[in-house]
Structure 1
Amino acid sequence: MWSLTYQRMHLRKERRFSRMYVCFDALKKGFKSGLRPFIGLDGTFLKGKVKGQLLVAAALDTSKHFYPIAWAVVDKETKVTWSWFLTLLERSLDLKKGEGITFMSDMQKGLIGALLNILPEAHHRYCVRHIEANWCKNWGAGELKKHLWWCSWCTYQEEFQDHLTMMGEENKEAGEDLLNRYPAESWCRAYFDTVCKNWQVENNLVESFNKWVLDARFKPIIKMLEDIRVKVMTMLGEHESDVMNWTGEFSPQTMLLYNQFLKIAQKCTVYFNGDDGYEVAHGVDRHRVNIELKRCTCRTWDLTDPMPSCTSGLYAGKINPLTRIPVVAKGKQSNGGRKTKKRTRSLIDEDDEGLARSPLFMWLTLEEELELTRLHYSNKSSKRRNKDFQVEQEEYK
């Protein structure tokens, strides 16, 4: 989709370039078919002889790469230009007043008011790095800066209140000023929506795009837009090649994080909690995992993928945690929602000898695989299971 706007000069009866909006159909379809409803917004200056602003909307793909959706050239950042940009973005993506969509921004001039007018039902987050830069000008860095970041990373309200109390012990006025200027609902994970399944507190994805097109921003407008088009086209081709080389249905980044969670999950203690699921203890923290509702009292399962406490509960319930990772974390399935023809085997599928091994084993060492299998079999009460494990361990050796 292209939108070109001219402004007619009253005195000379001439037309002057005003702004231009670009959103390619392929990018629009890619976002709507497989990416999480999370969009970062930002504006950056043009560096050439022609001055102006480049407004950008970008998302995240399954490999945590920025995914540009739309961009526009305007004379300056105002409520008028942001309203114009968001109106066209809503039309391109069929956002329906922003229902179910989360936006992240640096609180640019005019953007907050434009979002409220054009997309009133959308959620709006503030970049914590931008909050830090403004807030620390008055209160300094040091320990207060650390407490700010710890507050933003809290996933449930009790944890947030604890860190806020520690900040108040350092400087009570600084904590009050933080909440008065920046509502916690816009920058703390404990208050984030649970629809977009993205718990980012920084707007790095759009800032990365701005830096990626830095050389193009020194060129004239037409040449700049052409360079951006070619760069985006080339990038998408490279990312597609990477996805086709995946050995499984999940991205390497997803599996790497998942395996780290598995190691932590082995240190958790799991208690059966009736119909509600399981209670998981790790250190001084205790959380309840409800497998049926796919929820945990730590809220991490609501905000993103299953975390260590959720993983422990799933294994205790004889459920493969890989089956609870959202489909948008799968590369080949996120394209049109196509399903694979063969289901893979996991550790808890020991009775299904005809199934192929799970891609999980490709990322685990022999010792990690044996330890995870031992943890699984330790929850079995049957002596036959324990005997089978000993035989299996001898075969591995």
Structure 2
Amino acid sequence: MQKGLFVAIGDLLPATEHRKCARHILANFCKDWRGLQRRQQFWRIAKSTFESQLRRNIEKMKLLGPRRMMDALMYYNIEYWCKVYFNTSVKCDYVDNNMSECFNARILAARHKTIITMLEEIRVKKMTRIGSLREFVNTWGSNYSPMALKVLEENVTRSMDCNIEFNGVAGFEIKGLCQHTVDLLGALVVVGLGS
């Protein structure tokens, strides 16, 4: 049933990017392959943003078990749950579906009611949440969320360890722990060249 739905969506919406929830893949993988190190390495693989980083993380995972463990992991097509393969024109890089999980958890009580009652309860809950978030935004000291500012500050601090070299008309090489090429004329192209 699920595979048929996947094929049908691909036929009806061929330009749509398809992703799978890494958290659900991990849950299935951990039924046979438990362990904190494997779990942590799985998340490193899922959150890899360039190919050389992905290769290093896969090699580290291979050291944590036999070959059939990696075969079990690669059974779940990595192109659907690893950031390195995500379309960069889609501005969402989540590897799990926490947004829909949170939504489902919030509507749990309403889901078993009649359709009109369910929709009305969901509407009121969402309306209340939007109102409380609007009040929360009013407590910010700027137009940007405190969490976004924290991430920006961390990235600025990390960027201090990088060297930037001009390599052409609008291109740069950024060298730090890894080396990346950035093309400012075209779409942002980031290529991991190893460390």
Instruction: Give the TM-score normalised by structure 1.
Output: 0.43
Aligned counterpart in structure 2 of residue 287 of structure 1, from 170, 177, 180: 180
Aligned counterpart in structure 2 of residue 268 of structure 1, from 151, 162, 179: 162
Structure whose residues are more often strand by fraction: 1
Q: Structure 1 231/270 Cα, relative in aligned 2: closer, same or farther at 3 Å?
A: same
Please state if 1:175 is matched with 2:64. Answer: no
| SS of residue in 2 equivalent to 1:287 | strand
Q: CA deviation at 1:266?
A: 1.7
Q: CA deviation at 1:196?
A: 0.9
Work out the CA distance in 2 between the residues paired with 1:246 and 1:146.
Answer: 34
Q: Which protein has greater RCO, CA pairs closer than 8 Å, 6+ apart?
A: 2
Please state if 1:125 is matched with 2:19. Answer: yes
Q: CA deviation at 1:238?
A: 3.3
Residue type matched to 2:124 in 1? V
Residue type matched to 1:206 in 2? S
Work out the CA distance in 2 between the residues paired with 1:297 and 1:230.
Answer: 46
Structure 1 residue runs of 4 or more that deviate by more than 6 Å after TM superposition: none
Partner of 1:255: 149
Work out the CA distance in 1 between the residues paired with 2:105 and 2:163.
Answer: 45
Work out the CA distance in 2 between the residues paired with 1:259 and 1:297.
Answer: 24
Aligned counterpart in structure 2 of residue 140 of structure 1, from 13, 24, 34: 34
Q: Deviations over 1:349-377 (max 9, x none)?
A: xxxxxxxxxxxxxxxxxxxxxxxxxxxxx
Partner of 2:104: 210
Q: Deviations over 1:64-109 (max 9, x none)?
A: xxxxxxxxxxxxxxx6xxxxxxxxxxxxxxxxxxxxxxxxxxxx67
Larger Rg: 1
Gaps of at least 5 residues in structure 1 are: 1-78, 80-107, 299-397
Structure whose residues are more often helix by fraction: 2
Work out the CA distance in 1 between the residues paired with 2:68 and 2:41.
Answer: 14
Q: Deviations over 1:280-305 (max 9, x none)?
A: 2223x22223333333324xxxxxxx
Work out the CA distance in 2 between the residues paired with 1:195 and 1:272.
Answer: 25
Q: CA deviation at 1:219?
A: 4.3
Gaps of at least 5 residues in structure 2 are: none
Work out the CA distance in 1 between the residues paired with 2:40 and 2:135.
Answer: 40
Partner of 2:88: 194
Count of aligned residue pairs for this structure pair: 191
Q: CA deviation at 1:234?
A: 2.3
Matches within 5 A, 1:345-356: none
| SS of residue in 1 equivalent to 2:32 | helix
Identity of aligned residues (%): 34
Work out the CA distance in 2 between the residues paired with 1:226 and 1:197.
Answer: 31
Work out the CA distance in 1 between the residues paired with 2:6 and 2:23.
Answer: 17
Work out the CA distance in 1 between the residues paired with 2:184 and 2:149.
Answer: 21
Matches within 5 A, 1:17-32: none
Residue type matched to 1:205 in 2? M
Higher mean alpha-carbon deviation, 125-134 vs 254-263, is at 254-263
Q: Structure 1 242/109 Cα, relative in aligned 2: closer, same or farther at 3 Å?
A: farther
Q: CA deviation at 1:141?
A: 2.9
Q: CA deviation at 1:276?
A: 4.5
Q: CA deviation at 1:140?
A: 2.5
Please state if 1:238 is matched with 2:129. Answer: no
| SS of residue in 1 equivalent to 2:71 | helix
Q: CA deviation at 1:244?
A: 5.9
